[in-house]
Amino acid sequence: GAVVSQHPSWVICKSGTSVKIECRSLDFQATTMFWYRQFPKQSLMLMATSNEGSKATYEQGVEKDKFLINHASLTLSTLTVTSAHPEDSSFYICSAKDREVGNTIYFGEGSWLTVV
């Protein structure tokens, strides 16, 4: 089946630094990718929709200047958490929509971010 790879799986960074998370569709082209955030024992909250070749669409309350999203190709979207703070520590997960098969959205493995 389709595979979405997310990297890194775990990352620890210092407060004030930036960290980049990559989301790649390995065997299909994804014109649309989604970025979610999940706190422990809570649901996945959509942060933004990433469209290839255009600006991302952010959900209300999500700071676009803090969470930079780039979708430069049909197989890669990146999320950069800028000037990270401890409250940004969370599980970040991406998903990608196969442009050929519209009914299933494939998830990456997720990335655990800890800001110290």
Partner 1 sequence: GQSLEQPSEVTAVEGAIVQINCTYQTSGFYGLSWYQQHDGGAPTFLSYNALDGLEETGRFSSFLSRSDSYGYLLLQELQMKDSASYFCAVKYNNNDMRFGAGTRLTVKP
Q: Which of residues 31-50 bind partner 1 (CB under 8 A)?
A: 32, 34, 36, 41-46, 49
Give residue 83's identity as a one-letter amino acid code: S
Indicate the residue type of 26.
L
**In the complex, what is the shortest distance from the CB of residue 1 to partner 1, in angstroms, rounded to a whole number?**
9
Phi first, then psi: give them for residue 7, nearest 5 degrees: -145, 135
Question: Using an 8 Å Cβ cutoff, are 17 and 81 in contact?
Answer: no
Q: H helices of 17-67, where?
A: none
Binding residue for partner 1, selected from 97, 98, 113, 115, defined by CB under 8 A: 97
Our CB check for partner 1 shows the closer of 90 and 95 to be: 95
Q: How far is the CB of 42 from partner 1 (least distance, A)?
A: 7
